[in-house]
Amino acid sequence: MTDAGRVRLRFQPGDREVRVPPGVSVFEGASWNGIAIDSTCGGHGTCKKCRVRIVDGAVPVSQLDIRAFSPEELRDGWRLACLAAATADLTVDVPPLATRPKAATVGVGRQVILRPAVQKRYVELVEPTLADQTSDLERLLAALDDLELRVDLYALQRIGSVLRSSDFAATAVVVDDVLIDVEPGDTSGRRYAIAFDLGTTTVVATLLDLATGTPVAVRSMLNRQQPFGADVITRISATMLDPDALGRLRDLAHDTLDELVREVCKEGGVAPEEVYEVALAGNATMTHLVLGIDPEPLGVAPFIVSTRALPELLASDIGVRVHPRARAVVLPSFGAYVGGDIVAGILASGMDRDRRLRLFIDVGTNCEIVLGDANRLLATAAPAGPAFEAAQIRCGMRAADGAIEVVRIERDELLVQIIGDAEPAGLCGSGLVDAVAELVRVGLLDHSGRFVPDAVARGVAPALADRLTEVAGERVFVLHWRGDPDDASGAVFLSQRDVRELQFAKASIATGWRLLLLEWGADVEDVSQVLLAGSFGSYLSPASAVRIGLVPAMPLTRIVSAGNVAGEGAKMALLSVQERAGALALLEEVEYVELSDRRDFNDRFMAELGFPA
């Protein structure tokens, strides 16, 4: 791939070069790449502080430039960065900052300049007189004249008594371009937001201090929609069978989020009314359900989302009781099976900014795969089935106390690591992948995925051969004996069918990234890094993932656990309006590759079923 369609921005001093889509403003191009330019309005063209000098390349003079600069300055190339559209390569001189912006590290080592949508401004106003009957609102807005604000009725309902109870010294609360409240006195030190990762199984809330960008409290709990089914398809089915189910699923999602709000606010010593914005990342089904949007079209061919970009929303639209007029950002979906969690993941991992070719895999029942670099991004979804969630695995269980999460075979000895201080009770997804990978490595499973005959087993691993036995006529490998050592049916084991389930799952994923590589025109060797994401993927052992062929074979140091990227992306959307805009821009930049209608899918899938030699 070439840089076709991108323009180069070179920033001085420091000589940093970035490439952005044509038309992006110099201000945004800088912000997206961690280069700070002065601004109080956040790039809305109102504060006139983002002064830069274009030293190479041409940028037309805007109406506002004429007001912000003298004719000499305009001739010398001075422009407002937020209005300077980069339509061709430019070199830009950035003056030293008048105020040092704060930055926070989030996502996969991303440095984000703090420009939250939530702003607070403390003002001391001159009191009205008969000679100056300016309305309360106009009086306040005049003190905020670097912002062009819309006004929420709630702020109007409060402004009169707040100003008069505080001798006209008050704090304006602004989210994006909306004045949502006026608070008596100076409350500018306290502004908070909450980022939600709304998973099908687990929901995580992070309370952020927007002044510093730091997390104040984090809590997680199970999604209360669980009784309607473990995966998205069963929940969509529920809405098709019962007309009340959509409303109940929405309410259960709201209850889950709202309980987390109570918990993080209590833990962080923050009043819910001090939370002025929330952000949410989730897959398309979770996003539809939490907003009360019928998910049926997601679940049946041709798999249609109601919308990609979502409208302006309030926190109350996702059922959380924080500030009554707090805003909500719900990260958008590319399609029915590549949702806002993946948009958040691309944002958090910076895949759209990195010049290296990287492969992002969010492993789960539905596995999302993204391949690309700063020039081109391809995405697809692979239906992996529930093996990784340990459903349909004979001794499968969630990653909870008692689950075997790590399996190692060292010098003919089986070592297992258990979650919590408990007796092994089952096998979670990462343990399943480890167990299969180790058994393949020592030769107890052959490369087609079949347990070897006892005779072969005694040859390759004499101390473990006794663990190969039968339960209900099916060949199994016992990981942990419980009760009667002669009765494997009570043990924690891996069955032949479990191995097959995992083979189907990993073949689906591997077919996905192989087809993306083909579409891109790259080989496995061209991939610089693999990011394993999601609540399950992040816990996978890179060695085991390579061993079973779930990810391309490469040095293990280049296979990275990306952590909870959905939650990190939601945090970034709260910390920076530029990052938020970047997430929306992804909708136009990422190409979706549909696998299900490819003629070569089945052949490639069959080829991926075995384990690498």
Closer residue to a copy of itself in complex, CB, 312/412: 312
Structural contact between residues 379 and 531, judged by C-beta atoms closer than 8 angstroms: no
Closer residue to a copy of itself in complex, CB, 288/580: 288
With residue 247 as reference, give the H or E element that holds it. Answer: helix 245-268
Closer residue to a copy of itself in complex, CB, 51/580: 580
Q: DSSP 3-state assignment of 141?
A: helix
**Cβ density class 442-459: b for 16+ within 10 Å, e for less:** eebbeeebebbeeeebee
In 312-422, alpha helices (H) = 340-349
Name the minimum Å distance from CB 330 to a copy of itself.
10
Query: What is the distance between the alpha carbons of residues 240 and 388, in angstroms, rounded to a whole number?
Result: 26
Closer residue to a copy of itself in complex, CB, 97/300: 300
DSSP assigned state of 127: P
Backbone angle region of 493, left / alpha / beta, with phi > 0 → left and psi within -120 to 50 → alpha = beta
Bridge partner list, 410:
413
Name the minimum Å distance from CB 474 to a copy of itself.
38
- 259: which 2 tokens? 């309980």
DSSP letters, 493-538, are EEEHHHHHHHHHHHHHHHHHHHHHHHHHT--GGG--EEEEEHHHHT
Q: Given the structure tokens 């089915």, which residue do they identify?
A: 237
Structural contact between residues 184 and 160, judged by C-beta atoms closer than 8 angstroms: no
Name the minimum Å distance from CB 536 to a copy of itself.
27
Name the minimum Å distance from CB 23 to a copy of itself.
13
Structural contact between residues 416 and 541, judged by C-beta atoms closer than 8 angstroms: no
Closer residue to a copy of itself in complex, CB, 317/446: 317
Name the minimum Å distance from CB 408 to a copy of itself.
44
Name the minimum Å distance from CB 163 to a copy of itself.
9
| Length of the chain as a residue count | 613
Closer residue to a copy of itself in complex, CB, 150/356: 150
Binding residues for a copy of itself (CB under 8 A): 128-138, 150-153, 156-157, 159-161, 164, 291-294, 296-297, 301-308, 310-313, 317, 335-336, 592, 594, 596-597
Name the minimum Å distance from CB 161 to a copy of itself.
5
Query: What is the distance between the alpha carbons of residues 58 and 233, in angstroms, rounded to a whole number?
Result: 53
Closer residue to a copy of itself in complex, CB, 104/336: 336
Closer residue to a copy of itself in complex, CB, 93/317: 317
Name the minimum Å distance from CB 592 to a copy of itself.
8
Bridge partner list, 219:
205
